[in-house]
Amino acid sequence: MEGRAAALGAGTVLNALATGTGAAFGIDVETRATVELDPAANGVDGEIAEDADADTDLIERCVALATERWGDGEGGRVRTDSDVPLAAGLKSSSAAANATVLATCDALGLAVGDGGRASDDAVGDGGRASDDAVGDGGRASDDAVDDDPDDPAVDVTRLEACRLGVRAAREAGVTVTGAFDDATASMLGGVTVTDNDADELRVREAVDWDVLVWTPPERAYSADADVARCEAVAPMADLVADLALDGRYGEAMTVNGLAFSAALGFDADPAVEAMPHATAVSLSGTGPSVVAVADPADPETDLDAVADAWGDRPGTLRRTTTRNDGAAVE
Ligand SMILES: Nc1ncnc2c1ncn2[C@@H]1O[C@H](COP(=O)(O)OP(=O)(O)OP(=O)(O)O)[C@@H](O)[C@H]1O
Ligand SMILES: O=C(O)C1=C[C@@H](O)[C@@H](O)[C@H](O)C1
């Protein structure tokens, strides 16, 4: 009983630590999980390929919760290998949890979602699931954006799998709000806007951007973030949420970056340097990575110029793109 899956890293549009409302977008950086289930095993053993000393509690809980929910409580082994740097603001925990839950479903022989990756058509009304599209008093329902839960060929929808990973993240103590924003961006791709207090998806929309990521050498664990300082910028977070719910993701992201860099004590210089050349730029998650994006249709944008401006800083620069297909069984 072996299963494999991959899930996306993501960048931030709105950090949810101030108000519980968050927004993120999937990028083309993956975490892969391999799960071997053994009905005779006592518990789950986890391994993280890049870091033998990293905490494996999250992925072990993901397997245990998934077999409890959809299997017979099997134990076994889980191994992740990842292009998403751990605790760098690029949603490594969400990617690891999503990949592990899907790999466990695969090992159990369950059909996930639409048999793999949803196309834009499968996730709503031509890309943007708006409140109006479902008319339920202000929230896009899961049905409007998820794989069809009534499809007899689907055993587990990706949103169900995503919510289980968020539960594991809360139990493992690696998140402040549950990070349903990051988890949905990693699982569904595109940009998502969520209510993390209720684990509700408000908007999901495809987005096509070129992406430049600067990751400094230091690490910042979300669980250690100064939540009171984030709550102090709540009025700015409300403004960012309004922009994001209006589909003005770029402006939302840049305002978010300035507010949360200040709240969390990160230098805003990289953002200021990028602004003349980028559609948007922000501190991602609880840092330390900074993500700049460029709309390829906008001739004013130039991520090479941003890379030049950031080039002398310590750490790594990565060029990538947004992804709209999300996580999948492999
Ligand atoms: N590849 C991985 N395999 C297994 N567990 C992982 C992996 N990457 C991250 N984790 C788990 O997630 C924890 C880090 O979570 P944290 O939220 O601090 O980082 P992040 O998700 O990258 O940050 P942010 O939310 O700011 O983007 C690690 O301590 C580990 O338990
Ligand atoms: O741990 C959390 O709850 C979060 C961490 C960061 O990634 C934030 O960007 C996210 O909105 C919420």
Q: Around Cβ 319, how many Cβ atoms within 10 Å?
A: 12
The answer to which of 26-40, 128-142, 277-291 has the lowest mean pLDDT is: 128-142
Ligand approaching nearest to the C-alpha of 241: 2
User: 210-321 has which fold?
Assistant: Alpha-Beta Plaits (3.30.70)
pLDDT of residue 145: 56
Peptide bond into 288 cis (omega under 30): yes
Q: Which long-range contacts (CB under 8 A, 24 or more apart) does 79-82 make?
A: 79/33, 79/34, 79/46, 79/47, 79/48, 79/49, 80/31, 80/32, 80/33, 80/34, 80/46, 80/47, 80/48, 80/49, 81/31, 81/32, 81/49, 81/50, 82/30, 82/31, 82/32, 82/48, 82/49, 82/50
Q: At residue 114, does pLDDT exceed 80?
A: no
pTM exceeding the 0.90 threshold for the entire prediction: yes
Q: At residue 87, does pLDDT exceed 80?
A: yes
Ligand approaching nearest to the C-alpha of 196: 2
Integer Cα distance of 326 and 307 in angstroms: 26
pLDDT of residue 113: 87
- Is 210-321 the same fold as 2-206? no
Annotated binding residue 186:
no
Give residue 134 CA to ligand 1 midpoint distance, Å: 34
Q: Could you give phi then psi for residue 300, rounded to 5 degrees?
A: -75, -20
Q: Class assignment of domain 2-206? A: alpha beta
- The residue extents of the domains of the chain are 2-206, 210-321
Q: At residue 110, does pLDDT exceed 50?
A: yes
Annotated binding residue 46:
no
Tens of pLDDT, residue by residue over 127-157, are 444 333 323 333 344 444 556 667 788 999 9
pLDDT of residue 136: 33
pLDDT of residue 129: 46
Tens of pLDDT, residue by residue over 295-318, are 999 999 999 999 999 999 999 999
Task: State the average pLDDT for the chain.
Answer: 91
Q: What is the mean pLDDT of residues 222-236?
A: 98
Task: Please indicate whether residue 92, judged by its CB atom, sits closer than 6 Å to ligand 2.
Answer: no
Q: At residue 116, does pLDDT exceed 90?
A: no
Annotated binding residue 86:
yes
Task: Please indicate whether residue 176, judged by its CB atom, sits closer than 6 Å to ligand 2.
Answer: yes
Binding-site residues, ligand 1, Cβ < 6 A: 31, 48, 54-55, 58-59, 80, 82, 86-94, 96, 174-175, 179, 182, 221-222, 285-286
Q: Closest residue (by CA) to atom 13 of ligand 1?
A: 93
Q: What is the mean pLDDT of residues 197-224?
A: 98
Q: Around Cβ 52, how many Cβ atoms within 10 Å?
A: 8
